[in-house]
């Protein structure tokens, strides 16, 4: 054996690190200090790989074995035939139910956002409202010291309300599925809606947080808010809020106010017959208001008594006296309060007066009851005359005088039927009336009414807008494009010149408070706005480009007479929104539309008029927004459920309603010019005749504004009032001065 084969020769190699070390020595490569030999590394990785393989295989094997054991176990519960069908249905129902809950929770998020607002703030204010001349026109808010706790209310009043509105109020948790099933059954039997499935809590949720909009989304919000109220308030608190917040007709809110208004007595003193009449008002206050229709109110009260007997809350013997002696009410004038305006004004008061310590206030508003009545009659008569033929059921109107004072507001055809204010809260597409903002932006950027633009095909991405007649006029002036309401021009201006962001900024600057979603279609009026937004923005034009400073509150005082807020004193000065030259150009173009354009039915007799029509796709919305030197008004007609009208355009019913109101408003007043327009009125082209025209024998006569003072007398009184206001106050003599004898006249001699 060679020397190298001796076992002793291997010992140093093993001490150096085994076979790997031997390899290194054999190769002649020295081992770096701290370096792991390559063969040792491979050995470690092989071990890791082996461990992973075995572990994963064992885990998979164990999982298969476990799943097989579970499968064998559940085979004991396997069903066949009809039972299997039932289980399959139940499984699918659980799956769909889980998905449905996820969807409902997603939809509930906007509803729960409402609860973050100071919804109890309503209770902190007790406001008496006056019109622009100081006449009382209504109240809003609740005086806490006059609010009666539920425990102190007459037992028969609480029973009457629960028997009629929610018999299972103390048993459900906001949503009554049994009551809903019963209502659906009764409605199916009657073939119409005779019972409602909403609980009292759901109705309170609607009154506190939501509107009367009929939609699935609103009902989902209502249900979640009802659950939230039940979780955060006691049953007594919910019932108390419901009795305090519900509209009860006659401009009254809450059972306590209604008891005083109708019966002249405290709510704690009402009889059973009176309690039944009050409980009957919750369903339809305008229809069953006893000062308007006493027979209907008594019939409804009799139904309430029947409900009390059927629900087991009273016996027939206990209610027979109330049936035989129905309640009587105090005679009152049928003077309608401007409730839509008061609701909006109350919100304005809460915003302005939140910083004031005193919340029991007297508020002088800007409303003119003469113009308000004329506005209500203009909308109502238009719906009476043309509503059926145009298939339209709702309308809204806002009228603003120069300076920003809101003189009239119509939020719908009947406040008693629906308290949802379509003038300030309904978001509707304005159609072509929105084009004004694009043209105003163009005038700000160097365009003029005589600038020539091209009416031709235009595409923006996948969108290719077309004109109403699906034809093109070629080269036209900006004035003609606006008067004829050509669609391609504002789209081309937005695409090639200004962009969507600049148009949105213009709307905000001119007073549109509704957020405008960025979309390439908004130059044609696809963004949603309110009637108030449109009236506010258009009022910038006759004001020479200055902000219209829309407001409904002129002055706020406490009951001690201290003036806490005065608009003229405390409101910021009007900012210049458009340059005067841009405003002049816009007025030049807008005053052509009622005479040669799409709004020929809107031209006010003898008064220069400007404005723009708007009609949306499928004829869902029809607008006219116009102005004179004195007033600006926005008029909208449509349906709450967004169904199409019968081809109603902005140049038809909205334009005619505008004219009807403005003809009345301009009688016997000093006519102011539209800013920058001094030429006579353009020659008017007659509008095409419409069905059921106002000239028919059945048409209502035009409204005539009663004249109490001549325009000269009005100017004299206003001038005198201004002088008295500016005059220095009289010095009031002190008691010592009053008692002192008059000094004798002197002629230079000394006197004692």
- Express each pLDDT in 571-598 by its tens digit: 999 999 999 999 999 999 999 999 999 9
Q: 169-186 pLDDT, tens per residue?
A: 888 888 887 777 776 666
The pLDDT confidence band at residue 714, using thresholds 50, 70 and 90, is low
Q: What is the pLDDT of residue 749?
A: 38
The pLDDT confidence band at residue 196, using thresholds 50, 70 and 90, is low
Res 470 pLDDT > 90: no
The pLDDT confidence band at residue 104, using thresholds 50, 70 and 90, is low
Q: What is the pLDDT of residue 6?
A: 43
Res 715 pLDDT > 90: no
Q: What is the pLDDT of residue 11?
A: 43
Least confident of 33-47, 507-521, 726-740: 726-740
Average pLDDT over residues 517-531: 94
Q: What is the mean pLDDT of the chain?
A: 83
Closest C-alpha to 317, from 361, 272, 360, 283: 272
Q: What is the pLDDT of residue 719?
A: 81
- Backbone conformation region of residue 552, classed left if phi is above 0, alpha if psi is from -120 to 50, else beta: alpha
The SS3 of residue 249 is: coil
Contacts (Cβ under 8 Å, ≥6 apart) of 689: none
Q: Which residues pair with 108 in a beta bridge?
A: none
Cα–chain center distance at 290: 30
Average pLDDT over residues 308-318: 92
The pLDDT confidence band at residue 275, using thresholds 50, 70 and 90, is very high
Q: Are 43 and 20 in contact (CB under 8 A)?
A: no
Res 50 pLDDT > 90: no
Q: What is the pLDDT of residue 35?
A: 59
Average pLDDT over residues 496-511: 96
d(CA 314, CA 400): 54
Task: Give the highest mean pLDDT range of 11-20, 276-285, 524-533, 689-698.
Answer: 524-533
Interior/surface letters 50-87, b for 16+ CB within 10 angstroms, e for the rest: eeeeeeeeeeeeeeeeeeeeeeeeeeeeeeeeeeeeee
Q: Are 379 and 657 in contact (CB under 8 A)?
A: yes
Q: What is the pLDDT of residue 333?
A: 61
The pLDDT confidence band at residue 302, using thresholds 50, 70 and 90, is very high
Percent of the chain with pLDDT over 70: 80
Closest C-alpha to 366, from 334, 396, 398: 398
Q: What is the pLDDT of residue 731?
A: 64
Res 51 pLDDT > 70: yes
Q: What is the pLDDT of residue 184?
A: 67
Q: What is the pLDDT of residue 310?
A: 92
Q: 215-249 pLDDT, tens per residue?
A: 677 777 888 888 889 988 899 989 988 988 888 88
Q: 549-578 pLDDT, tens per residue?
A: 999 999 999 888 899 999 999 999 999 999
The SS3 of residue 630 is: coil
Q: What is the pLDDT of residue 688?
A: 59
Closest C-alpha to 217, from 99, 100, 107, 105: 107
DSSP 330: -
Q: Are 705 and 630 in contact (CB under 8 A)?
A: no
d(CA 161, CA 199): 12
Contacts (Cβ under 8 Å, ≥6 apart) of 296: 287, 288
């Amino acid at each position: 054996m060679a020397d190298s084969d001796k076992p002793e020769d291997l010992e140093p190699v093993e001490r150096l690190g085994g076979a790997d070390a031997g390899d290194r020595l054999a190769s002649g490569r020295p081992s770096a200090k701290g370096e792991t030999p390559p063969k040792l590394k491979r050995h470690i990785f092989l071990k890791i790989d082996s461990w992973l393989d075995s572990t994963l295989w064992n885990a998979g094997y164990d999982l298969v074995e476990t799943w097989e054991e579970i499968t064998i176990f559940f085979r004991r519960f396997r069903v066949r035939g009809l039972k299997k069908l039932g289980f399959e249905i139940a499984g699918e129902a659980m799956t769909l139910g889980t998905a449905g809950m996820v969807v409902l929770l997603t939809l509930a998020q906007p509803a729960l956002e409402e609860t973050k607002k100071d919804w109890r703030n309503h209770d902190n204010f007790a406001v008496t409202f006056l019109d622009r001349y100081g006449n009382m026109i209504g109240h809003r808010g609740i005086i806490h010291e006059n609010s009666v706790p539920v425990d102190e209310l007459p037992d028969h009043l609480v029973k009457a309300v629960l028997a009629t509105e929610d018999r299972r109020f103390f048993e459900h948790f906001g949503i009554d599925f049994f009551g809903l099933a019963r209502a659906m059954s009764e409605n199916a039997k009657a073939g119409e809606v005779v019972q409602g499935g909403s609980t009292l809590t759901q109705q309170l949720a609607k009154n506190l947080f939501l509107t009367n909009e009929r939609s699935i989304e609103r009902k989902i919000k209502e249900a979640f808010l009802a659950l939230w109220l039940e979780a955060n308030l006691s049953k007594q608190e919910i019932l108390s809020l419901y009795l305090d917040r519900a509209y009860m007709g006659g401009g009254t809110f809450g059972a306590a106010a209604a008891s005083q208004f109708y019966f002249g007595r405290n709510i704690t003193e009402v009889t059973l017959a009176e309690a039944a009449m009050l409980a009957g008002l919750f369903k339809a206050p305008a229809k069953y208001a006893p000062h308007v229709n006493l027979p209907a109110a008594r019939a409804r009260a009799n139904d309430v008594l029947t409900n009390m007997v059927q629900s087991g809350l009273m016996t027939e013997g206990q209610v027979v006296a109330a049936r035989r002696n129905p309640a009587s009410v105090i005679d009152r004038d049928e003077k309608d309060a401007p409730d839509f305006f008061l609701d909006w004004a109350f919100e304005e008061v809460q915003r302005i007066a939140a910083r004031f310590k005193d919340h029991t206030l007297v508020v002088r508003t800007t409303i003119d009851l003469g113009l308000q009545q004329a506005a209500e009659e203009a909308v109502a008569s238009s719906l009476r005359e043309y509503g059926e033929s145009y298939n339209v059921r709702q309308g809204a109107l806002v009228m603003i005088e120069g300076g920003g004072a809101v003189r009239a507001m119509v939020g719908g055809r009947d406040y008693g039927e629906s308290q949802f204010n379509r003038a300030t809260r309904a978001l509707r597409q304005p159609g072509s009336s929105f084009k004004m903002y694009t043209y105003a932006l163009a005038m700000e950027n160097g365009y003029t009414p005589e600038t020539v633009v091209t009416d031709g095909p235009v595409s923006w991405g996948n969108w290719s807008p077309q004109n109403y007649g699906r034809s093109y006029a070629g080269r036209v002036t900006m004035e003609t494009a606006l008067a004829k309401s050509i669609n391609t021009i504002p789209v081309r201006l937005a695409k090639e010149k200004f962009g969507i962001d600049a148009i949105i900024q213009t709307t905000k600057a001119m007073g549109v408070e509704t957020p405008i979603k960025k979309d390439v279609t908004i130059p044609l009026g696809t963004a949603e706005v309110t009637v108030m937004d449109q009236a506010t923005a258009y009022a910038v034009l006759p004001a020479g480009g200055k902000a219209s400073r829309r407001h409904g509150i002129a002055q706020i005082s406490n009951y001690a007479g201290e003036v806490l807020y005065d608009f003229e004193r405390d409101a910021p000065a009007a900012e210049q929104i458009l340059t005067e030259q841009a405003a002049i150009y816009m007025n030049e173009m807008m005053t052509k539309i009622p005479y040669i354009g799409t709004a020929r039915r809107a031209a006010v007799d003898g008064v220069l008029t400007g404005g723009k029509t708007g009609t949306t796709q499928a004829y869902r919305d029809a607008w006219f927004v116009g102005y004179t030197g004195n007033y600006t008004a926005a008029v909208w007609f449509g349906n709450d459920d967004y169904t199409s009208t019968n081809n109603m355009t902005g140049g038809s019913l909205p334009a005619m309603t505008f004219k009807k109101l403005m003809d009345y408003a301009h009688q016997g007043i000093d006519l102011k010019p539209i800013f920058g327009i001094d030429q006579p009125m353009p020659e008017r082209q007659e509008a095409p005749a419409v069905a059921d025209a106002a000239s028919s024998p059945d048409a209502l006569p035009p409204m005539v504004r009663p004249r109490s003072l001549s325009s000269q007398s009005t100017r004299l009184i206003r001038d005198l009032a201004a002088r008295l206001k500016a005059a220095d106050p009289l010095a009031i003599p002190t008691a010592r001065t009053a008692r002192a004898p008059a000094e004798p006249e002197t002629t230079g001699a000394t006197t004692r």
